A and B are shown apart, each in its own frame.
Chain A
């Protein structure tokens, strides 16, 4: 039996998230992943930006840092470079990571610094009341897209892959067992690792777009997602309108903080 209480700051409950929000499910999967790896809480550092998902850091009993909007990855980079022995996990959202923080996101991937970035993609700015985000699907309504979103969207996982991340995966809050496994793999991976989690927002997205209840929204995840293993055997036409989940990238590249330690060694030996 998994003891959540070992990892949470119980006196900070109840959670700030709305009922039906997927973010609590991600928190659970994250804690289970940490527990299954056996990480010491002292050696885990969670860094978040601004937004609904970023409030997660307040609930986890480890070294937690709630930063400014879009900049979580930069603070995390400083922590990892200065103290590489810490397991640094970044908690962020679609707006935080790919709009205001998009530059840091691609550069951290390029650098291949050993951070685990969990991106809660709810396709909307939830905390500020439902404004359009870089992942709001075309045609969907948002408070700042009252006639439907006209702009193309970012593919969060594709962006990380193109920029050079070592590990990229996409999960959902419906597929919880898979989510825990993906987060575990991402933490264990030596290099820049991204887990994009599709976490529906019934309040700011679902209500405006008549997506039904959270059960309906999660059932849609169930019906609409195919695993990356299955997707490999499907044609482009069959994949149309589907969301591919599971492991998307898993490659080995030199990691930034380790490369820097090697440089220090080189300087020490006078080479």
Chain B
């Protein structure tokens, strides 16, 4: 049975996580994400899960990785400054292949910046915040109900691909209240990590399986093995063998890249007959939707390619649509972090303009309409 509720984005995130099977949350207070922790502090013990407020964000992500290694579905939530502090251990979770979800409710930066105001300035931090060559999965919902659904999806992808998944919200989405219709729990798809079938003696924790994702034994289940952030071979122990190092790093890359089609989601909104395209994501895409309706009412045929998965980047879709439509606007609350990705994917086939705002105010639809109309007169 569907359930109708009114909730904020942060509440939807907490409830989505529980629906996905969350059993461990560790976090540190930070605006504008704190309500996720507050919600879970109340709900988790009643669901026989663990909530713990740690001493900082370094500790929060550490505890999340530790809990995940025991088999728990684990999550933390933070904002820009805290997200920066988590970067080293996000890399650890990538290297040691520990599933977990990191929610980053973006606020204005750099530094302490604008704690109570929205931004989309952490898109590149999500991609390259931790050191070394790596792949990352990042999702960007644009409504309260989509936060609920994509929080579940974030857990599913983390479990399926044994990797940290970053959920990028922003201050607007976190705090806006919307009516949501929650789907029947019976139809929700919940994915759990694959556990080994072989006997403990035969278990290779980082085995090169055909799908590139080794089954994961929870600590304390009889499989005694070693986990390290050092480069390691199939046994999980450190190695300096160049062949083994390359095998590992390419497997970590390929398990994401080869599954792009499964991971990357976009919404194609009124693109079929469009002469002008918009690429946007998160709360900015809400304004774009509104602007597109206004512009179409005035006879300007505009459509939108909305990025739901931010990383890995939707290269294939962007390539395809920039071949069909020659003029594009990338609308984002930063100085063009995704616009550069779009330019690279378009290979010069289309002209790319940015509509940007970084002053703590949301990009409103009128601003977008005006920019696009100004462009018509040029």
Closest Cβ of chain A to B203, distance in Å, is 12
Question: A255 an interface residue at 8 Å Cβ cutoff?
Answer: no
B60 neighbours in A (Cβ, 8 Å): 74
Closest Cβ of chain B to A15, distance in Å, is 14
Q: Which of A39-47, A144-152, A207-215 contacts B (4 or more CB under 8 A)?
A: A39-47
B105 neighbours in A (Cβ, 8 Å): none
Contacting pair B59 A268 (CB below 8 A): no
B56 neighbours in A (Cβ, 8 Å): 103
B55 neighbours in A (Cβ, 8 Å): 103-104, 107
Partner of B24, one of A61, A81, A107, A268: A81
By secondary structure, the B interface counts as: mixed
Interface 1/0s, chain A 50-78, versus B by CB < 8 A?
A: 00000001100111111110110111111
CB nearest to B43 among chain A residues: A267
A77 neighbours in B (Cβ, 8 Å): 26, 52, 54, 59, 62-63, 66
Question: A4 an interface residue at 8 Å Cβ cutoff?
Answer: no
Contacting pair B227 A74 (CB below 8 A): no
Question: B309 an interface residue at 8 Å Cβ cutoff?
Answer: no
Contacting pair B59 A66 (CB below 8 A): no
CB nearest to A54 among chain B residues: B228
Question: B299 an interface residue at 8 Å Cβ cutoff?
Answer: no
Contacting pair A71 B89 (CB below 8 A): yes
Closest Cβ of chain B to A152, distance in Å, is 23
Please report the C-alpha to C-alpha distance between residue A83 and residue B221 in the assembled complex, in whole angstroms. 11
Question: B220 an interface residue at 8 Å Cβ cutoff?
Answer: yes
Q: Which of A226-271 contact B (CB under 8 A)?
A: 260, 263-264, 266-268
Closest Cβ of chain A to B162, distance in Å, is 16
A62 neighbours in B (Cβ, 8 Å): 224
Q: Assuming A47-B66, A81-B67, is B225 touching A64 (CB within 8 A)?
A: yes
Please report the C-alpha to C-alpha distance between residue A65 and residue B205 in the assembled complex, in whole angstroms. 13
Closest Cβ of chain A to B25, distance in Å, is 10
Contacting pair A63 B45 (CB below 8 A): no
Contacting pair A75 B63 (CB below 8 A): yes
Interface 1/0s, chain A 181-207, versus B by CB < 8 A?
A: 000000000000000000000000000
Q: Which of B22-39 contact A (CB under 8 A)?
A: 23-24, 26
B316 neighbours in A (Cβ, 8 Å): none
Please report the C-alpha to C-alpha distance between residue A7 and residue B67 in the assembled complex, in whole angstroms. 24
Q: Which of B55, B66, B228, B238 has the most CB of A within 10 A?
A: B66
Contacting pair A42 B224 (CB below 8 A): yes
Partner of B63, one of A58, A74, A86: A74
Contacting pair A79 B59 (CB below 8 A): no
Please report the C-alpha to C-alpha distance between residue A267 and residue B51 in the assembled complex, in whole angstroms. 13
Partner of A65, one of B64, B227, B230, B238: B227
Please report the C-alpha to C-alpha distance between residue A103 and residue B58 in the assembled complex, in whole angstroms. 10
Q: Assuming A68-B92, A78-B74, is B224 touching A61 (CB within 8 A)?
A: yes
Q: Assuming A66-B230, A74-B59, A77-B59, is B66 touching A82 (CB within 8 A)?
A: yes
Closest Cβ of chain A to B226, distance in Å, is 5
Closest Cβ of chain A to B21, distance in Å, is 13
Closest Cβ of chain B to A41, distance in Å, is 6
Q: Assuming A58-B238, A68-B88, A267-B46, is B224 touching A63 (CB within 8 A)?
A: yes
CB nearest to B228 among chain A residues: A66
Please report the C-alpha to C-alpha distance between residue A248 and residue B67 in the assembled complex, in whole angstroms. 31
B351 neighbours in A (Cβ, 8 Å): none
A9 neighbours in B (Cβ, 8 Å): 226
Q: Which of B356-378 contact A (CB under 8 A)?
A: none
CB nearest to B64 among chain A residues: A78
Q: Assuming A57-B226, A68-B92, A85-B220, is B65 touching A78 (CB within 8 A)?
A: yes
Please report the C-alpha to C-alpha distance between residue A9 and residue B58 in the assembled complex, in whole angstroms. 31
Q: Assuming A74-B54, A78-B66, A103-B56, is B226 touching A64 (CB within 8 A)?
A: yes
Q: A42-B220, A67-B229, A82-B24 are in contact. List 4 more A-B contacts (CB 8 A).
A: A82-B67, A83-B71, A104-B62, A264-B48
29 contacts between A and B (CB under 8 A): A42-B220, A42-B224, A62-B224, A63-B220, A64-B225, A64-B227, A65-B226, A66-B227, A67-B92, A68-B89, A68-B92, A71-B58, A74-B59, A76-B66, A77-B59, A78-B66, A78-B69, A78-B70, A79-B67, A82-B23, A82-B72, A83-B70, A83-B72, A83-B219, A83-B220, A86-B70, A107-B54, A260-B45, A268-B48
Residues of chain B at the chain A interface (Cβ within 8 Å)? 23-24, 26, 45-46, 48, 50, 52, 54-56, 58-72, 74, 88-89, 92, 218-222, 224-230, 237-238
List the 5 closest A-B pairs by CB distance, nearest first.
Answer: A78-B66, A74-B62, A78-B63, A75-B66, A82-B67
